[in-house]
Amino acid sequence: ELGNLLDSLESEGITVAKAVPQPLALLLAYDMLGRRVDPSSEDDDVTLVADVGSTGLDVIVLLNGRLAFARSTTFGGTQFTEALAGALNVSVHDAEKLKIKRGGLDRSEAGVLGDSVAPLRKVAAQLLTMLEASLRMAGGQKKKLPPLTGIVLLGGGARIRGLPSFVSQRMKVPV
């Protein structure tokens, strides 16, 4: 995809000196701003970083602070919005506003519209499947990956109320 985009830009007379695929850009940002691994620790640290954008999901898996796996896929906040629109029989525009203001994965959280929980949880389960698949793929490339230590969720799609605790409970690590 990146090659096609660069070729299209070049055909229009636009020269790009450097381009960084999104998962690598995520790695660079996390390397600069994220938690540092203690180099003196004898324990392995496996961190999954996921950027849940509007229409894209970028995932990196770090083993002791070094890139073990990178992936981009088409999944994001739009899936949460579309699930709400379908379940509540409202427009996508209204569903997006509702998702931001009153959507959530936990009925007990203040301000969460109860009818938003089931459709948002269904999509959150799909996100979990993608995160778990990323870990399996990373493990396949590294022969054996130590147990997951933690997850970092970034991006607008990760701001859905209750999503971090939902992921944490199911993946059994801090988020």
- Strands lying side by side in the sheet with 46-52: 66-73, 57-63, 46-52, 150-154
In the predicted structure, residue 170 carries a pLDDT above the cut 80: yes
Percent of the chain with pLDDT over 90: 69
What average pLDDT is seen over the chain? 91
pLDDT at 142: 67
- Report strand pairing: 66-73 vs 57-63: antiparallel
Model pTM greater than 0.75? yes
Give tens-digit pLDDT for 17-48: 877 678 888 888 888 777 777 777 888 999 99
Identity (one letter) of the amino acid at 90? Answer: V
